C-alpha cells in the first residue's frame, strides 16, 4: 500500500520541486536592441555584443513555459538541419530561440537586413579554406553583422578580434586604419584562425568555445579535467562560453526558419552587395569629404564602403592602400585625370610660417651691439617648455591627460616611460611638458594670397560651354550700362551667376563709394567670451583649477598663464581671471600693486612642509624625493632606516630630519 502511494505521489513531488526551482530564478530585463537609423551598417548596439550569451539565465523556466507542441516542432526542425556543424537541442537552445523569435524580434530583423550583404562574402572565404559554410552564423553571434561593432572589452569588427589577436593575423591597426573593421580582410583572418583552432582541437564545438574563451584556456581546462568534448567540459566553462554554442545553434535555426516565424516583412530595408572599384592611394594625402563632393556622393558613402578608415582623411604616410569606391563614378573618373583628382582632394593645411632671414654674426663694434647680442642670447636660452606635474585621478586615462594639456598620447607615454595599454593608477605622478607663452615680438606677417579652389573639378566639355554662355550674356547687354566686372578665372561661375553679378555691380559700386565717404570709426575687438560668467572669480573651499577650467571652457594652462601661477594649487579667497588681461587691466594691476602696502608676514607665510609622507600606489623613493625639495633618495634611506628602495602603499616615511 505504501509503495503504491509513493509511486502515485512521486511525479507530483518532482513537478513541484521543478516548478519551485524554476520560479526561484530571476530572469534579467533585456535591453531591446534595434534602433533604426538611415545607415544600419554603422549602428552601435545598445546591448553589449559579448553579453548576448549571458542574456538568458532561466533556460529551465523558459522550457517549462513553452508549449510542448512548439518545443517538439523546433526540436524536429533543429534535428533536420542540413549542416556539417554539430547541433544539440535542449532547454538552453530553446530559450535563445524564444529570444530571437519572440522577445527581441527587432534585433533579429536588423540582422536579416544585413544578411544578404555579408553572407556571400563569408561563403566565398569559407569555401576557399575548406571550412563548413554554417560557420557564417558565428559572425551573427559575435557582432550582429555590424562591421564597426565594438564590445566593452575592446573586440572590434564583424568577427570581434581583440587587438593582439588581430595583429597576430596581420590586420593593420594604427591611428588612421583598423583592418579589423574591413569586412573582407577580417573574414579571411577569421577563416585562418578557425582553421588553426580546428587543427588544434579537431572538434567544432570546442573550436567555437575556444574562439570565445581562447584556445589556451580551453586547453588548460581539458588538461585539468581530462574531458575531451564540449558537453563534458560544460560545467567547467565560464557562463558566457557555456551559452556560446547554444546561441550559435539558435541563431542558425532562426535565420533558416525566419519566414516561418514571420520575421520578414515589407518594412525591412534589405541591403545587397554593390558593384565597386578600387583606387590605389600611396604617398599622398586624401580628403575623403572632398572626394565624395567631387563625385556627388553622400558624405558617409565612402565610410560605408571603407569602414576601416577611422578619420575623414588619409595621411601621406599611407602606402599601397586600396580605397573602395562605387562603380557609378567610373565614367567621371575616366574623363578626369587620376593625378588631377588626387591633387584636388589633398588635405589642405595652413601655409607654413615664413622663415626670418638670419643676420650674419659680426663682431660687436660698440657696447650697444654687445648688449643687443647678449639680450638675444638670453632670449634664445630661455626654456620653450615648462615642466608640469600631474596627479592621476580615479578613472583617468592617458587620453584624458593628453586632451587636458593639448599634447599627444605618445608624448605622455614617452615622457613617463609608460607601456601602451596599461591603465593608470590613482594618485600616480605624471610629467607633462607644456609650451611657455612668450611675449616676444612675433615675426613679421607676410600677406599670402589664398588660392581660389573650385568646389568641384569641371569636366573637359563644361568649360567651353560656360565660356560661350558668358560671351552671349556680355554681347546681349548694351556697352554703356555694362560696367567692368572682374571675373576670377578659377571660380568659373555659371551663366546665371554672371547675369546676377553684372546686375548687382552698379549697386555694389555705389555702396562702396558711400562706405568710403562715411567717417571711419575705430573698431573694438570683441573676444568670444561668455558675458553670463564673471571675468573674475574668488576661489572657494574645495575648488581646484581643473574643475574651474572645465566649467568655463578654458584649459588649465591658460588659467595658470593669465593668473601668473607657478603650480595648480589655489587657496580660498584667491582671485582668478578667466580671460587674458587687457593692457589697461595689466597697467591698473601694476599701479595697484605699487600703491598697496605689502600684506602682513603672517598671511604670506608658506604652509609648513609635512614631516611624514604616506606612500601611495605607484610611489617610489625617487618620486618622493622630487616631491619634497632639499631631500635626496640617500637621505630618505637614512631617515627611515631602509635597506632597499622598495616601499609599500600605506607606509609612512620621514621626509624631514
Neighbours of 388 (CB within 10 A): 16
Task: Name the 3-class secondary structure at 657.
Answer: coil
Q: Distance between the two ends of the chain, CA-based, in angstroms?
A: 93
Parts of the chain belonging to CATH 3.10.350.10: 386-434
Give the tens place of pLDDT for each residue, 326-341.
Answer: 998 888 888 888 888 8
Q: What CATH class is the domain 49-257?
A: mainly alpha
Percent of the chain surpassing pLDDT 70: 67
Reported residue count of the chain is 657
pLDDT band at 589 (very low <50, low <70, confident <90, very high): low
- Percentage of the chain lying above the pLDDT 90 cut: 35
Query: Which has more confidence, 158 or 330?
Result: 158
204, pLDDT greater than 80? yes
CA distance 262 to 253: 14
What's the average model confidence in pLDDT over 46-53?
42
More confident of the two residues 471 and 315? 315
Give the pLDDT band (50/70/90) at residue 29: very low
Q: How confident is the model at residue 63 (pLDDT cuts 50, 70, 90)?
A: low
pLDDT at position 620: 83
How far, CA to CA in Å, does 466 sit from each of 155, 164, 495, 502? 54, 57, 7, 16
Per-residue confidence (pLDDT) for residue 211, from 0 to 100: 95
Which position has the higher pLDDT, 477 or 112? 112
pLDDT of residue 60: 60
Query: For residues 375 and 371, what is the distance between their CA atoms, to the nearest angstrom?
Result: 6
* 434 beta partners: 386
The answer to which of 184-188, 254-258, 327-331 has the lowest mean pLDDT is 327-331
Q: Residue 252 above 50 pLDDT?
A: yes
Residue ranges of the chain that CATH labels 1.10.530.10: 49-257
For residues 252-271, average pLDDT:
94
Among 3.30.420.40, 3.10.350.10, 1.10.10.10, 3.10.25.10, what is the CATH number of 386-434?
Answer: 3.10.350.10
Provide the H-helix boundaries in 202-296: 204-213, 215-225, 230-233, 239-242, 244-256, 288-294
- As a whole number, the mean pLDDT across the chain is 76
Q: Which residue has the higher pLDDT, 201 or 654?
A: 201
User: What integer is the mean pLDDT of 15-32?
Assistant: 36
CATH number belonging to domain 540-576:
3.10.350
- Pick 258 or 65 by higher pLDDT: 258
pTM for the full predicted model: 0.51
- Categorize the per-residue pLDDT at 251 as very low, low, confident or very high, splitting at 50, 70 and 90: very high
User: What per-residue confidence (pLDDT) applies to 448?
Assistant: 44
The string of pLDDT tens digits covering residues 424-448 is 888 899 999 888 765 544 444 444 4
Distances (CA, A) of 268 to 41, 110, 146, 157, 174: 14, 8, 16, 23, 36
Confidence of residue 30 (pLDDT cuts 50, 70, 90): very low
Choose among 135, 153, 235, 233: nearest CA to 192. 135
Model confidence at 548: pLDDT above 60: yes
- What confidence score (pLDDT) does residue 177 get? 95
pLDDT of residue 78: 92
Task: List the Cα angle 139/140/144 in 5-degree steps.
Answer: 110
Q: What letter does residue 450 receive in the DSSP assignment?
A: P
d(CA 333, CA 301): 17
Whether residue 202 has pLDDT greater than 90: yes
> Would you say 249 and 291 are in contact if contact means Cβ atoms under 8 Å apart?
no
| pLDDT-based confidence at residue 649 (cuts at 50, 70, 90) | confident
pLDDT above 70 (res 141): yes
Fold of 611-656: Membrane-bound Lytic Murein Transglycosylase D; Chain A (3.10.350)
pLDDT digit string, tens, across residues 565-584:
878 888 888 888 887 776 66
The model's confidence at residue 381, banded by pLDDT at 50, 70 and 90, is low
Amino acid at each position: 500500500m505504501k509503495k503504491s502511494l509513493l509511486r502515485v505521489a512521486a511525479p507530483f513531488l518532482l513537478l513541484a520541486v521543478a516548478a519551485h526551482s524554476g520560479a526561484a530564478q530571476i530572469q534579467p530585463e533585456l535591453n531591446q536592441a534595434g534602433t533604426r537609423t538611415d545607415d544600419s551598417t554603422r549602428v552601435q548596439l545598445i546591448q553589449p555584443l559579448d553579453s548576448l550569451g549571458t542574456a538568458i539565465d532561466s533556460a529551465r523556466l523558459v522550457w517549462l513555459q513553452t508549449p510542448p507542441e512548439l518545443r517538439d516542432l523546433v526540436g524536429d526542425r533543429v534535428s533536420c538541419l542540413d549542416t556539417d556543424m554539430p547541433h544539440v537541442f535542449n532547454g538552453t537552445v530553446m530559450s535563445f530561440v524564444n529570444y530571437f523569435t519572440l522577445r527581441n524580434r527587432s534585433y533579429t530583423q536588423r540582422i536579416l537586413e544585413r544578411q544578404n550583404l555579408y553572407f556571400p562574402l563569408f561563403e566565398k572565404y569559407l569555401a576557399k579554406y575548406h571550412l563548413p559554410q554554417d560557420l557564417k552564423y558565428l559572425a551573427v553571434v559575435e557582432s550582429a553583422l555590424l562591421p564597426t561593432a565594438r564590445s566593452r572589452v575592446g573586440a572590434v569588427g564583424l568577427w570581434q578580434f581583440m587587438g593582439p589577436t588581430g595583429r597576430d593575423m596581420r590586420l593593420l591597426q594604427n591611428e588612421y586604419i583598423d583592418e579589423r573593421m574591413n569586412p573582407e580582410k577580417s573574414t579571411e583572418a577569421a577563416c585562418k584562425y578557425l582553421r588553426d583552432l580546428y587543427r588544434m582541437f579537431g572538434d567544432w564545438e570546442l573550436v567555437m568555445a575556444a574562439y570565445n574563451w581562447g584556445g589556451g584556456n580551453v586547453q588548460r581546462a581539458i588538461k585539468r579535467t581530462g574531458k575531451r568534448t564540449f558537453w563534458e567540459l560544460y560545467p567547467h566553462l565560464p557562463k558566457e562560453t557555456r551559452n556560446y554554442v547554444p546561441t550559435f545553434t539558435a541563431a542558425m535555426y532562426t535565420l533558416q526558419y525566419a519566414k516561418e516565424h514571420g520575421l520578414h516583412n515589407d518594412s525591412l530595408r534589405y541591403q545587397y552587395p554593390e558593384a565597386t572599384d578600387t583606387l590605389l592611394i600611396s604617398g599622398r594625402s586624401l580628403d575623403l569629404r572632398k572626394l565624395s563632393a567631387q563625385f556627388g556622393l553622400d558624405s558617409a558613402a565612402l565610410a560605408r564602403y571603407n569602414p576601416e578608415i577611422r578619420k575623414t582623411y588619409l595621411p601621406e604616410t599611407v602606402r599601397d592602400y586600396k580605397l573602395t569606391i562605387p562603380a557609378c563614378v567610373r565614367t567621371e573618373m575616366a574623363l578626369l585625370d587620376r593625378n588631377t583628382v588626387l591633387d584636388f582632394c589633398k588635405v589642405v593645411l595652413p601655409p607654413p610660417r615664413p622663415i626670418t632671414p638670419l643676420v650674419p654674426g659680426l663682431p660687436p663694434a660698440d657696447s650697444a651691439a654687445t648688449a643687443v647680442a647678449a639680450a638675444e642670447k638670453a632670449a634664445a636660452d630661455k626654456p620653450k617648455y615648462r615642466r608640469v606635474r600631474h596627479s592621476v585621478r580615479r578613472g583617468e586615462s592617458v587620453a584624458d591627460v593628453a586632451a587636458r594639456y593639448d599634447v599627444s598620447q605618445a608624448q605622455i607615454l614617452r615622457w613617463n616611460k609608460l607601456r601602451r595599454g596599461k591603465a593608470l593608477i590613482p594618485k600616480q605622478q605624471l610629467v607633462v611638458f607644456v609650451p611657455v607663452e612668450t611675449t616676444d615680438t612675433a615675426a613679421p606677417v607676410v600677406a599670402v594670397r589664398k588660392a581660389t579652389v573650385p568646389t568641384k573639378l569641371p569636366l573637359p566639355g563644361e568649360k567651353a560651354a560656360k565660356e560661350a554662355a558668358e560671351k552671349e550674356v556680355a554681347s546681349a547687354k548694351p556697352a554703356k550700362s555694362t560696367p567692368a566686372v572682374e571675373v576670377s578665372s578659377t571660380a568659373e561661375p555659371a551663366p546665371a551667376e554672371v547675369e546676377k553679378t553684372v546686375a548687382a555691380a552698379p549697386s555694389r559700386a555705389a555702396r562702396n563709394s558711400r562706405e568710403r565717404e562715411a567717417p571711419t570709426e575705430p573698431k573694438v575687438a570683441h573676444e568670444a567670451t561668455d558675458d553670463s560668467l564673471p571675468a573674475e572669480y574668488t576661489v572657494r573651499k574645495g575648488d581646484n583649477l581643473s574643475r574651474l577650467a572645465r566649467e568655463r571652457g578654458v584649459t588649465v594652462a591658460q588659467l595658470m598663464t593669465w593668473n601668473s601661477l607657478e603650480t595648480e594649487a589655489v587657496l580660498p579667497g584667491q582671485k582668478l581671471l578667466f580671460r587674458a588681461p587687457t593692457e589697461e587691466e595689466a597697467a591698473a594691476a601694476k599701479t595697484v600693486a605699487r600703491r598697496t602696502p605689502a600684506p602682513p608676514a603672517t598671511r604670506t607665510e608658506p604652509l609648513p612642509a609635512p614631516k611624514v609622507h604616506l606612500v601611495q600606489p605607484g610611489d617610489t623613493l625617487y618620486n618622493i624625493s622630487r616631491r619634497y625639495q632639499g631631500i635626496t633618495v640617500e637621505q630618505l634611506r637614512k631617515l627611515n632606516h631602509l635597506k632597499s628602495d622598495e616601499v609599500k602603499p600605506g607606509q609612512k616615511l620621514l621626509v624631514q630630519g
